[in-house]
Structure formats: structure tokens, C-alpha cells
Amino acid sequence: MDRIVLGYDGSDFSVQALDWALDEAELRKLPLTVSHAWQWPYGEADEDAKAHLRKAAEHVLWHGADCARSTSSGVPVETDLYEGPAPLRLVELSAEATLVVVGSRGLSALPRAVIGSVAGYVAAHAACPVIVVRGPGPIPAATKPGPVVVPDRTPDESVLEFAFEEAALRQVPVSAAVDPAAWAERRPEVRVEPYGEAGERATLMVVGRRRTMWSGAASFLQHAPCPVAVVPEV
């Protein structure tokens, strides 16, 4: 089932991720699933005690879905309430998703953490591309959006394919550390910019997740100045 999946916990970071996920759903003409996970953290408890926490979780999920419906231009919005660890649920949902979008941190992340445990786990294990939206608050509307940047000098074909697709959807150039000649011919509507200083004004950075090496993608997640898409390599 093609859809965009959003991990939402009510934090400022997930509100920013919601904005990005709505953009993706509108551009790709796909439904959006807003997912929120909850779990009882205090050991054994009766069902009445858990019911209060579940009710709070339902309210968080309702708020996220209501924000999505009220600000979108007709995107179908579905909800997913899950009792259990959020990263495991998002990875599970990724098996039937086109894209998963998460905030860089959630409510449980340490104040100094750049990337939270949920975002890191999902980016490392999801079956589909994951966009980690960095920073709290609304995404500023750029008057002149920057390029989609591919910083790897030996990117997988899946990384270039995703980068050119995203650039075409957003009508921005691609800037790659390697000459993307074949993809430039396949997607002539996408302009290719010199690499140079493109990373500093990037709209999105796209990196690959190799089966045998996660550290490279993890480094970009920690230090990139913009949202990062992590694409599983074939």
C-alpha cells in the first residue's frame, strides 16, 4: 500500500516533521498515516491505570491528525495508535510505505541529543526511505529553495533515483558530489548544479544506507544543516 507514514509524538520536532510529511503526501498524491505509539513505563499495572495513559495517547494522535487535515489540501489522513515501542512500529509500517518521515528528536530525547533514538533506529532499519527532519518549529518557506544534495562520491543508484525524484517533485536542482550523467539524461526536467557549497543551502540531503555500514549515514544525520533522507541501498 503506497502511503506516507509520519511518526508523531506531539513534540515541536514532530510538528515540523508533520509539515514535511504533508508536503510529501500532496506532491506524491498519496494518503498520510499519522502514527503514535505509547506504552506503560512503570511495570505491572491494572487496566484502569493504563486506560488513562491510552486516553492521553489518543488525544496526542487526534491532535496530530486534526492538524494534518486542517492544513492539507485534501490529503486523506489515517491514524495508527500502537501500544509498544515507537521505532518498532514505524519500521513495521515502513514495509508498506513509500516514505517514513520522523522528527530528529522526540519528547524523550536528551536535551543535547541531535538525533533521537527513534529517528536513528528507524533510519537504520526501515524498509523504505526515511526523511529525518531536523530542528523544532515550523519549516520556514524559502523564497529560493536550495538543491537536493547527494554528498556521497560513490552513491548507489537508489540514492540518485530518490534524489532526482524529490528534486522533480519540489522543482529544485540536484547537486551531487559525483557526476550524475545518466540520471540527468533520464530526468531532463531536473537541473544539475555544481556541487561546491551546495550543502550549506540544501533543501534536502540524500544519503544511502549500506547493509554493511551505517556509520556514514549516521554521521550525516548528526551534522547535516537540513533534513536528511536515508535511502536503503539494494
Distance CA 12, CA 213 (A): 31
pLDDT for residue 77: 97
pLDDT for residue 139: 58
- In CATH terms, the fold of domain 4-133 is Rossmann fold (3.40.50)
pLDDT for residue 39: 87
Average pLDDT, 10 consecutive residues per value, the chain (234 residues)? 93 92 96 94 73 92 96 93 95 98 67 64 94 69 83 92 96 93 93 83 90 61 84 87
Number of separate helices (H) and strands (E) present in the chain: 7, 10
Alpha helices (H) along the chain: 12-28, 47-71, 86-94, 117-125, 157-170, 181-186, 215-223
pLDDT for residue 59: 96
Distance CA 133, CA 113 (A): 14
pLDDT for residue 110: 42
Are 134 and 220 in contact, with CB atoms under 8 Å apart? no
C-alpha 69: how far from chain center:
19
